[in-house]
């Protein structure tokens, strides 16, 4: 069974700050890494799916990188806005399983 970890557990930043979080996953039997944005009382919203080592994806002010050899992915948010406040989840797929990390809770203070 995969073990996916995320750090930090929570983060408070000021509006306009840039920030980043880490997702660590077992590099063996890796297939894909997913990032989701999850606002309170809503459903998880897909941000990125990455499969190849060195993959970089970008959507607006949010970007992500993937290192499958060492088993980590970074999510970056440039110029954080209050509407970016949410829990950011990563999930690793490998073999017959999808395993989510515990999430990083981001609060952006105006």
Partner 1 sequence: DSGVTQTPKHLITATGQRVTLRCSPRSGDLSVYWYQQSLDQGLQFLIQYYNGEERAKGNILERFSAQQFPDLHSELNLSSLELGDSALYFCASSYGSGGYEQYFGPGTRLTVT
Number of residues that bind partner 1 (CB under 8 A): 20
Question: Rounded to the nearest 5 degrees, what angle is found at the Cα of 95, between the Cα atoms of 93 and 98?
Answer: 30
Question: Least distance (Å) from partner 1 to the CB of residue 15?
Answer: 28
Tokens, residue 96: 């017959």
CA distances for 104 relative to 69, 78, 87, 107, angstroms = 23, 16, 5, 10
Residue 74 binding partner 1, by CB under 8 A: no
Residue 72 touches partner 1, criterion: CB under 8 A: no
Query: Cα separation of 74 and 55, whole Å?
Result: 11
- Please tell me whether the peptide bond between 8 and the residue prior to it is cis, using omega within 30 degrees of 0: yes
Per CB under 8 A, the list member of 13, 24, 49, 67 interacting with partner 1 is: 49
The residue whose two tokens read 């990188």 is 65
- Residue recorded with tokens 């990083």: 104
The residue from 64, 75, 89, 90 that contacts partner 1 (CB under 8 A) is 89
Closest approach, Cβ 55 to partner 1, in A, equals 11
Q: Is 109 in the site for partner 1 (CB under 8 A)?
A: no
If one asks whether residue 96 binds partner 1 (CB under 8 A), the answer comes out as yes
Selected from 11, 19, 25, 34, the binder of partner 1 by CB under 8 A is: 34
């Amino acid at each position: 069974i995969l073990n996916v970890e995320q750090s930090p557990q929570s983060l408070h930043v000021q509006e306009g700050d840039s920030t980043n979080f880490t997702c660590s996953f077992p590099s063996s039997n890796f297939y894909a890494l997913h990032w989701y944005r999850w606002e309170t009382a809503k459903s998880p919203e897909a941000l990125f799916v990455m499969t190849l080592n060195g993959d970089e994806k970008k959507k607006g002010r949010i970007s992500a990188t993937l290192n499958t050899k060492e088993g980590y992915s970074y999510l970056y948010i440039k110029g954080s806005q209050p509407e970016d406040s949410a829990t950011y989840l990563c999930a690793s797929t490998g073999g017959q399983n999808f395993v989510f990390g515990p999430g990083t809770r981001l609060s952006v203070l105006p």
